Amino acid sequence: MSEPGTAAAGGRAASAPLLGNMAEPTIFELSQPGRSSWQLRTTGIPEWSVEELVPAEHRRSDPVPLAEVSERDLVGHFTRLSHRQFSVDLGAYPLGSCTMKYNPKTCDTVAGLPGLSNVHPGAPAALTQGWLELLVDLEEMLCEITGMAAATLQPAAGAAGELTGLLLMRAWHDAQGEQRRRVVIPDSAHGTNPASVTLGGYEVTTVPSDERGCVDMAALRSVLDTDVAGIMLTNPNTLGLFEEDIVPIAEAVHEVGGLLYYDGANLNAILGVVRPGDMGFDIVHMNLHKTFATPHGGGGPGAGPVAVSPRLVDFLPGPRPVRIAGGATSGAGPADPGVRATADPESGTGDLRFGWSVPPHSVGRVHSWHGNALVLARALAYITVHGGDGLRRVAERAVLNANWVRTRLSGVYDVPFDRTCMHEVVLAASTLRKQHGLRALDVAKRLLEEGFHSPTVYFPLVVDEALMIEPTETESLQTLEALADALERIAAGAAVDDSFKAAPRTTPVRRVDEARAARTLVPTFDARG
Amino acid sequence: MGDYLPHTEAEIASMLGFIGLDSLDELFAAVPEALRISGGLALADGVPEPDVLDRVQRLAEANIARSDRLVCFAGGGAYDHEVPPVVKALAGRSEFVTSYTPYQPEVAQGVLQAVFEYQTMVARLAGLPVANASLYDGASALVEGVNLGVGVTGREGVWLSAGVHPHWRAVLATFAAGTGHQVEVVPLVDGRTAWPPLTGGSGAEVDRPGVVVVGYPNYLGCIEDLAEVRRLCDALGAVMVVVADPVSAGILRSPGEQGADVVVGEGQAFGTPLGFGGPYLGLFACTLEHVRRLPGRLVGETVDSEGTRAYVTTLRAREQDIRREKATSNVCTNQTLMAVTAAVQLGWLGTSGLAEVALRSARGTRYCREALAGVDGVTPLTAATPVVREFAVLTPTPARTVVRRLAEDGFLAGLALADLVGEGGDGSVGPEQAEHGLLVAVTERRTAAEIDAFVAALDKAVRS
């Protein structure tokens, strides 16, 4: 094993210049009246005036004021903005719960293939067979990975998947002639869970975590009755711990007629090891932008497919891409009785292999079209490169990395639940805060100076001064060593002086005044005083 | 065999030793034995990247409806607009592509400022003072707009014009099952919404909707009378939500100027490829009065500890990670990269470029509409005259047949209305119109030569 600090770490970004301390002007300030960069195709169409085309009562009197810049100014501006932005490509991003792994460039190439990116979503199935095959293939892979029967690929992100899952829950109970009112979630859950529950028309019942950081079984049993539509669980949970009682939990929930919803935010930990379906879950959403490496784009796009157990398949959103049994066109395939005509009877599409199907009791459409298709294509490529064997290695290395960090920093930071964790470890700065005033927020800001992105802080809510670290599997031992060294330096430095309060000092801007932003709202350039 | 894992065997051994474990399997000791997968996933083993690219390329080649192979006259919320190399290059920068949500603003000023500029541009297009940092797509923006309106008025009733895109109406209906909103679709007559008369009958109070939604232009390309909708909303005490086409904003009066409380829309037209329907961009703007009910993220300007201008996500107390079950929305991950892309594209177009795109689309629309009117048996679907870049015609042969036949001649002729509204029609068109209705879109990229050839091919297709 290499000595800490002896090998250069590929994931440390402390060498990045992130040039300059001046603010970048907005594009509106770069604007000069009369300047432009657009060039549009020569069309040969008569040049009717706007007065000849748009009735006066609907016509805009002045153009929408946008910026007026040259192409060179445009490139300079957005390139400089990009230099003021941390990214996975720049360095390690151990942001807990977010699975910021390296995004393979091959997947960018896939998403950029003209045969995928130039396809209109409303074109008939006969003209989009490649896309349909891709989506069907991906659905089958995701079902195998999660141990479920079928999936919808429409939800655009995790929270959209959650709400879709809750609507599936509602539709299922409706079909049983039952009106249930409550959904149970643990106190360690992501905020999207309770927000989705409300939008699904349910009330939230919160159950506490026990001293081991898992769902308190006795508390759970005490809230379970026939008014409970289901439970939403993340497993491993947001403390990075596997819910060891998952089988008794599933039995208890099923016993009262409830359904189990799996929040797939932490699926990366268990790929190829254990499947939600085998744990007893009925509904599973996945975050392809986390687990399957599709890049997060500064906050999106993601993709949040939802997979379900056999009894819920008929309720899935539609239309769904499906294989057509025996190449039949419409309405006929025994495997998919719901396959509808995608072209008229005389269209000669009898040899179509893929089509669209609306499940008989579908909850309906949840996306304008078919979901974030180009994100789905990236995920398919990622899964295919790894294969079943590679996905298992992903989970192993992710868990190995998290446990190495836990072991290394135990004794430096608090480890509220100090046992083998999964893909992430929740540390805490509570002792350091008491001794030296070093808060989790200060650790986060100091770590930026060390060339690393911060961990997730103050989450989960059940841990005081939480620092949630998810190294992911794509960071090397050398990077983990450099990260741990940095976190040790931060803790040791706090014992010497309180200069941490001034951090970060090497970033494009210093500590940002969030209170002022809320107090004096400036949501647009036009709102500036 | 392929992966992106850095660990050497020696490192794995030393790391396990450091942790105090003997094997990788022991990392999963907390997982009950009976649950563990024996024998691995039933997926093929990994394959090298070049093989994967070959395979995906084969799938891509199986798609015929590509805008680089078939000249695209299809729209319906997904448009073949110009995306110049400069926009692809800037929006494709890995700093924008591979960053997370800007939770640490000191190292996320790039995305935050780009989104601030995007919010400014969207607000100007909408004619409203505030826009959020994006939602998933047009449909989800509509759902959030209706949720906001119901929250403001406390009334669950929604009058939804049938001129709103059929898929978006379907999405709204899906989510209404959870929220309990009572959505009533108001039909179109001759291409424009036929709002119920405002006679103050008895019991009218009970049925007063909290929200009124209208398309501008509607999905058949017709321009609705927003002044009438504003008067309706004033009389009803309802929130006015306008589903607006942001490209048309280049030549049409803004919805905000005409009294809209909330403007939502689909922003794909600004730099995002057709991409088989996603990822796209949900646009959302509203009045300042409603800013504390705004769904999703909002970037605001502030300063850092030295007084330097800086940006940060703000009014965070609305959001799900703080407010949990009382949040204004459950949205977390949004479509930031598409918002940044839109900011770049709108920066490239600028004031004159956006107006030019809208004007050229309107010119092409008129040229194509008039040429199609000359085809024997082809008639306009609506009495109202569509203007900007989309219109519907009735074809003598079923529209699905027309689309199929024209694909053989090199055109994606448009969208068969039956594929959008179902064979039975809906509140926007009847069954006969659904079967024979073809929705045609003309963007600034379409040339006179392409349109002439398209019309000639359609003429042949409907006669054979």
Over the stretch B288-326, which tens digit does the pLDDT of each residue have? 999 999 999 999 999 999 999 999 999 988 888 888 888
A156 to B302: CB separation less than 8 angstroms, yes or no:
no
| Fold adopted by B87-343 | Aspartate Aminotransferase; domain 2 (3.40.640)
pLDDT score, position A345: 40
A299 to B336: CB separation less than 8 angstroms, yes or no:
yes
Confidence of residue A18 (pLDDT cuts 50, 70, 90): low
B203: pLDDT strictly greater than 90: no
Indicate the residue of A85, A110, A454 with minimum beta-carbon distance to B110.
A85
pLDDT digits (tens, 9 = 90+) for B333-375: 999 999 999 999 999 999 999 999 999 999 999 999 999 999 9
Burial class (CB in 10 A: 0-12, 13-18, 19+), B409: middle
pLDDT digits (tens, 9 = 90+) for B120-160: 999 999 999 999 999 999 999 999 999 999 999 999 999 99
- CATH 3.40.640.10 in chain B is located at 87-343
Residues 6+ apart with CB under 8 A from B245: B216, B217, B265, B266, B269, B388, B389
A338: pLDDT strictly greater than 70: no
A336: pLDDT strictly greater than 90: no
B419 to A122: CB separation less than 8 angstroms, yes or no:
yes
Cα A483 to Cα A261: distance, rounded to the nearest angstrom: 35
Confidence of residue A7 (pLDDT cuts 50, 70, 90): low
Confidence of residue A328 (pLDDT cuts 50, 70, 90): very low
pLDDT score, position B202: 54
The angle at the Cα of A99, spanning A97 to A105, to the nearest 5 degrees, equals 160
B3: pLDDT strictly greater than 90: no
Compute the average pLDDT of residues A254-283. 98
Q: What percent of chain B has pLDDT over 70?
A: 98
Confidence of residue A8 (pLDDT cuts 50, 70, 90): confident
A457: pLDDT strictly greater than 80: yes
pLDDT score, position A5: 47
Indicate the residue of A343, A507, A520 with minimum beta-carbon distance to B400.
A343
B215: pLDDT strictly greater than 50: yes
Compute the average pLDDT of residues A504-525. 95
A277: pLDDT strictly greater than 70: yes
Residues 6+ apart with CB under 8 A from B103: A95, A454, A456
Which residue did the predictor score with more confidence, B404 or A461? B404
| Fold adopted by B71-84+351-463 | Aspartate Aminotransferase, domain 1 (3.90.1150)
| Domain with residues A133-317+359-376, CATH architecture | 3-Layer(aba) Sandwich (3.40)
B9: pLDDT strictly greater than 80: yes
Confidence of residue A344 (pLDDT cuts 50, 70, 90): very low
Among A462, A473, A484, A464, CA closest to A241 = A462
Distances (CA, A) of B82 to A331, B86, B260, B313, B444: 39, 11, 29, 31, 8
pLDDT score, position A20: 62
Confidence of residue A6 (pLDDT cuts 50, 70, 90): low
Closest chain B residue by Cα to residue A452: B107
Q: How far is B82 from chain A (nearest CA, A)?
A: 7
Compute the average pLDDT of residues A388-400. 97
Burial class (CB in 10 A: 0-12, 13-18, 19+), A140: middle
Indicate the residue of B49, B55, B404 with minimum beta-carbon distance to A347.
B404
Among A185, A427, A517, CA closest to B102 = A517
Q: How far is A372 from chain B (nearest CA, A)?
A: 4
This prediction has a pTM of: 0.96
Reported ipTM: the value is 0.97
pLDDT score, position A350: 61
Rg (CA), chain A: 26
The angle at the Cα of B290, spanning B286 to B296, to the nearest 5 degrees, equals 70
Q: Where are the domains of chain A?
A: 27-82, 133-317+359-376
B251 to A363: CB separation less than 8 angstroms, yes or no:
no
What residues of chain B lie within 8 A of the CB of A23, using their CB?
A: 308-310
Q: How far is A159 from chain B (nearest CA, A)?
A: 6
pLDDT score, position A426: 97
A248: pLDDT strictly greater than 80: yes
Confidence of residue B200 (pLDDT cuts 50, 70, 90): low
Confidence of residue B206 (pLDDT cuts 50, 70, 90): very low
Q: How far is B201 from chain A (nearest CA, A)?
A: 32
Confidence of residue A342 (pLDDT cuts 50, 70, 90): very low
Indicate the residue of A63, A84, A386 with minimum beta-carbon distance to B2.
A386
Confidence of residue A429 (pLDDT cuts 50, 70, 90): very high
